[in-house]
């Protein structure tokens, strides 16, 4: 059985629907901003300077990236219509776009980059609206593998950060600063509780900064030169509407990298739901769709403002798990903080003056936790030899390309740059293997009917025809009949008292050796059946509704039950194992 009788989540102090006090809210928002403003601005600087663009455009692009990150982070937390996950998900510049963004800037300038980013963002809205169609390909197995590969991809950069110290500083400055930061942070993370645990990361950074000051690592020149307030509007380049050969040559690459970013966002949206509630809940894929749409909004705004595209920052999940604070109020405060920093260049310079060794050391803690979280997502989806092969091969393919050990030197510069990112190459491998498993597996038999009790005779006849082809025995056939009936009753639970015609239902049956997989597709209802099944299993009081009884019986009959709720589709997948001889 996929669902345990009793489930408990991580140590959460504030759930998404709870509001911590303003001191905690502002303190955590400052912490998030402190840890994220550096990557946001530095990624833009890498792209602009690598392409040989002007410092005026760099100033505009950096400020625009902070503004877009702030707006998109607020939308992710608060959810505006169907835009946003409803969870804390930091948005920032995407490192996956570095290669294609540099190429666009070098060949067509900032106006071409703006047009390509804006056009490719439309693809993300389409992907989010049709995410249910990709459910068998972009699976928890793929998402968890991509999350693990994020840590593999980022870790070499983090280790380089730790080793960077200014010229003329004592050689021991880097190791000692990193050791103090890591030691203080880990002691607080492992031993502290309550408010102290919330401020642990900041305390670790402050302790490391004190040691860095002793060694003379700090440099205040950039802070002194930065203005207090301003937004360099003269750096906005406009758009390139010529749509020439360079545009059409680069558009497929931008669309592909947008897909990679969407997979990362899907993984982050699934992961943050796992760590944001005290009692574990089934993944709400409407929130996942909203996260991808908000990511698309960030990319669209990035195109309109001519800066590097956005993506979700996976470190968010690790910080939420460390602090135990998942309140939406904190996410909105973080977004306000990003927007404020965009208008205060001197404060940005102060934050960026924190030595790289300190930021890199704390990021090690975050990435380590993120890696384990990716493993948990993969295992929670159930593990068999096929999934184990997909995860193992994809992970090591990603690691091989990331380390430069797999044919990178024999590829063209574009593909070497793209596949040299372990998240991209490993994610592509996971996608390709998942597509192969889906296409090579037994074909599904399908029946289209209505979601009401009058459909039961037709469903029974359809299942009996499938059983005749599979050669099922009487016990297996009866078990599948009962499971399909209880699944139908459970899906009809939200229809009580509803007016109008019955919803359409599509039933798919896939036959495997010793098992049958039933997939019910209908318009969405309100609750998630996995959560209701867990609640029914924990209840010791008298059952109040017939559908609660159906859930209990379905839980007993099925080997696994998975309910995926999208905005446009309600999908219930039931796996029935053959009874033991």
* Surface-to-core class of residue 438, CB atoms within 10 Å of its CB (0-12 exposed, 13-18 middle, 19+ buried): exposed
Q: Kindly report, residue by residue over 310-339, the tens digit of the pLDDT.
A: 888 877 887 788 778 888 999 999 999 999
Measured CA to CA, the distance from residue 557 to residue 579 in angstroms comes to 10
Q: What is the pLDDT of residue 395?
A: 87
- Across the range 184-189, mean pLDDT stands at 83
Q: What is the pLDDT of residue 500?
A: 56
Is residue 300 over pLDDT 90?
yes
Q: What is the pLDDT of residue 193?
A: 67
Question: Quick one: 267 and 235 in the same domain?
Answer: yes
Q: Classify residue 289: in a domain, yes or no.
A: yes
Collapse the DSSP code of 14 into the 3-class scheme (helix H, G, I; strand E, B; otherwise coil) and give the result.
Answer: strand
Q: Classify residue 486: in a domain, yes or no.
A: yes
Q: What is the pLDDT of residue 526?
A: 56
Q: Which long-range contacts (CB under 8 A, 24 or more apart) does 477-483 make?
A: 479/557, 479/576, 479/578, 479/579, 480/516, 480/518, 480/576, 482/553, 482/557, 483/518, 483/554, 483/557, 483/558, 483/574, 483/576
End residue of a domain, out of 366, 382, 398: 382
End residue of a domain, out of 382, 404, 430: 382
Question: Quick one: 457 and 428 in the same domain?
Answer: no
Q: What is the pLDDT of residue 372?
A: 80
Q: What is the pLDDT of residue 349?
A: 66
- Across the range 86-100, mean pLDDT stands at 81
For the packed helices 285-304 and 55-78, what is the interaxial angle rounded to 10 degrees? Answer: 160
- Whole-angstrom Cα Rg for the chain: 26
Measured CA to CA, the distance from residue 246 to residue 458 in angstroms comes to 56
Is residue 127 over pLDDT 80?
yes
Split at pLDDT 50, 70, 90, the class of 550 is low
Q: What is the pLDDT of residue 6?
A: 38
Q: What is the pLDDT of residue 69?
A: 93
- Out of 169-173, 277-281, 333-337, 347-351, which region has the weakest mean confidence (pLDDT)? 347-351
Please name every residue paired with 571 in a beta bridge, in sequence order, or none if there are none: 521, 564
Identify the CATH number of the domain in which residue 564 sits.
3.30.565.10
Percent of the chain exceeding pLDDT 70 equals: 80
Q: Classify residue 258: in a domain, yes or no.
A: yes
Q: Of residues 136 and 395, which shows the higher confidence score?
A: 395
Question: Quick one: 144 and 258 in the same domain?
Answer: yes
Three-state SS sequence of 398-458: HHHHHCCCCCHHHCCHHHHHHHCCHHHHHHHHHHHHHHHHHHHCCCCEEEEEECCHHHHHH
What does the block give as tokens for 540? 């010791």
Is residue 293 over pLDDT 50?
yes
Instruction: Give the chain's largest Cα–Cα span.
Output: 83
Question: Quick one: 101 and 246 in the same domain?
Answer: yes
Question: Quick one: 394 and 465 in the same domain?
Answer: no
Q: What is the pLDDT of residue 578?
A: 75
Q: What is the pLDDT of residue 525?
A: 56
Q: Kindly report, residue by residue over 209-264, the tens digit of the pLDDT.
A: 888 877 777 767 767 766 777 776 666 777 777 777 778 767 766 876 787 778 77
Question: Quick one: 409 and 501 in the same domain?
Answer: no
- Out of 54-63, 115-124, 125-134, 467-476, which region has the weakest mean confidence (pLDDT)? 467-476
Q: Is 121 left (phi over 0), alpha (psi -120 to 50) or beta?
A: alpha
Question: Quick one: 173 and 252 in the same domain?
Answer: yes
Range of the domain at 459: 443-577
Q: Of residues 380 and 288, which shows the higher confidence score?
A: 288
Q: Classify residue 16: in a domain, yes or no.
A: no
Compute the Cα dihedral for 358, 361, 365, 367 and give only its sign. Answer: positive
Q: What is the pLDDT of residue 524?
A: 61
Q: Classify residue 10: in a domain, yes or no.
A: no
Question: Quick one: 248 and 288 in the same domain?
Answer: yes
Question: Quick one: 468 and 422 in the same domain?
Answer: no
Among candidate residues 574, 483, 562, the one with its CA nearest the CA of residue 529: 562
- The CA distances from residue 116 to 261, 300, 309, 551, in Å, are 15, 10, 10, 49
End residue of a domain, out of 313, 348, 382: 382
Measured CA to CA, the distance from residue 144 to residue 268 in angstroms comes to 9
Q: What is the pLDDT of residue 499?
A: 54
Q: What is the pLDDT of residue 302?
A: 92
- The CA distances from residue 475 to 7, 463, 472, in Å, are 31, 14, 8
Question: Quick one: 348 and 393 in the same domain?
Answer: no
The number of distinct structural domains making up the chain is 3
Q: Of residues 206 and 502, which shows the higher confidence score?
A: 206
Q: Classify residue 12: in a domain, yes or no.
A: no
Question: Quick one: 244 and 376 in the same domain?
Answer: yes
Q: What is the pLDDT of residue 536?
A: 46
Residues in the chain: 581
Split at pLDDT 50, 70, 90, the class of 541 is very low
Question: Quick one: 230 and 292 in the same domain?
Answer: yes
Q: Classify residue 141: in a domain, yes or no.
A: yes
Q: Of residues 290 and 352, which shows the higher confidence score?
A: 290
Q: Classify residue 6: in a domain, yes or no.
A: no
Collapse the DSSP code of 561 into the 3-class scheme (helix H, G, I; strand E, B; otherwise coil) and give the result.
Answer: strand
- Across the range 522-533, mean pLDDT stands at 58
Among candidate residues 578, 547, 575, the one with its CA nearest the CA of residue 562: 575
């Amino acid at each position: 059985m996929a669902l345990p009788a009793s489930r408990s989540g991580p140590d959460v102090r504030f759930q998404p629907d709870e509001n911590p006090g303003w001191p905690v809210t502002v303190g955590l928002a400052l912490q998030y901003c402190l840890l994220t403003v550096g990557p946001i601005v530095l990624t833009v600087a890498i792209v602009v300077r690598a392409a040989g663009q002007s410092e005026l455009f760099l100033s505009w692009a950096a400020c625009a990236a902070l503004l877009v990150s702030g707006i998109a982070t607020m939308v992710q937390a608060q959810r505006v219509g169907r835009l946003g996950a409803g969870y804390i998900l930091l948005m920032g510049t995407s490192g996956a776009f570095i290669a294609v963004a540099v190429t666009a800037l070098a060949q067509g300038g900032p106006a071409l980059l703006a047009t390509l980013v804006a056009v490719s963002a439309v693809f993300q809205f389409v992907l989010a609206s049709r995410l249910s169609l990709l459910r068998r390909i972009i699976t928890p197995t793929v998402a968890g593998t991509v999350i693990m590969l994020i840590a593999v991809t980022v870790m070499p950069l983090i280790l380089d950060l730790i080793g960077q110290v200014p010229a003329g500083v004592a050689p021991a400055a880097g190791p000692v600063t990193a050791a103090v930061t890591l030691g203080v942070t880990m002691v607080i993370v492992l031993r502290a509780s309550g408010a102290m645990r919330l401020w642990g990361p900041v305390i670790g950074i402050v302790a490391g900064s004190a040691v860095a000051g002793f060694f003379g690592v700090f440099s205040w020149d950039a802070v002194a030169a930065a203005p207090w307030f301003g937004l360099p509007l003269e750096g906005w380049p406009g758009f390139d509407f010529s749509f020439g050969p360079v545009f059409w040559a680069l558009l497929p690459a931008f669309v592909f990298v947008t897909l990679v970013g969407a997979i990362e966002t899907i993984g982050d949206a699934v992961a943050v739901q796992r760590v944001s509630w005290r009692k574990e809940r089934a993944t709400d894929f409407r929130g996942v769709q909203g996260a991808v749409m908000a990511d698309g909004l960030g990319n669209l705004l990035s195109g309109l403002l001519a800066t590097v595209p956005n993506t979700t920052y996976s470190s968010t999940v690790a910080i939420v798990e460390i602090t135990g604070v998942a309140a939406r109020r904190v996410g909105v405060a973080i977004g306000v903080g990003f927007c404020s920093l965009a208008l205060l260049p001197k404060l940005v310079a102060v934050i960026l003056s924190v030595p790289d060794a300190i930021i890199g050391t704390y990021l090690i803690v975050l990435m380590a936790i993120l890696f384990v979280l990716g493993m948990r997502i993969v295992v929670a989806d159930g593990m068999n030899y096929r999934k184990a092969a997909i995860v193992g091969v994809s992970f090591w393919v990603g690691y091989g390309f990331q380390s430069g050990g797999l044919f990178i030197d024999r590829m063209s510069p574009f593909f070497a740059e793209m596949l040299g990112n372990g998240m991209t190459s490993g994610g592509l491998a996971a996608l390709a293997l998942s597509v192969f498993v889906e296409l090579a597996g037994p074909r599904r038999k399908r029946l289209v009917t209505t979601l009401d009790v009058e459909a039961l005779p037709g469903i029974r006849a359809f299942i009996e025809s499938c059983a005749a082809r599979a050669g099922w025995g009487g016990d297996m056939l009866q078990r599948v009949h009962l499971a399909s009936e209880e699944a139908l009753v459970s899906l009809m639970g939200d229809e009580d008292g509803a007016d109008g015609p019955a919803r359409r239902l599509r039933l798919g049956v896939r036959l495997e050796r010793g098992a049958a997989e039933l997939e019910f597709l209908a318009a969405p209802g309100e609750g998630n059946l996995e959560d209701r099944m867990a609640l029914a299993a924990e209840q010791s009081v008298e059952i109040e509704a017939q559908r609660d009884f159906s859930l209990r019986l379905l839980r007993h009959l099925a080997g696994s039950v998975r309910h995926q709720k999208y905005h446009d589709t309600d999908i219930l997948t039931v796996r029935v194992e053959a009874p033991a001889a």
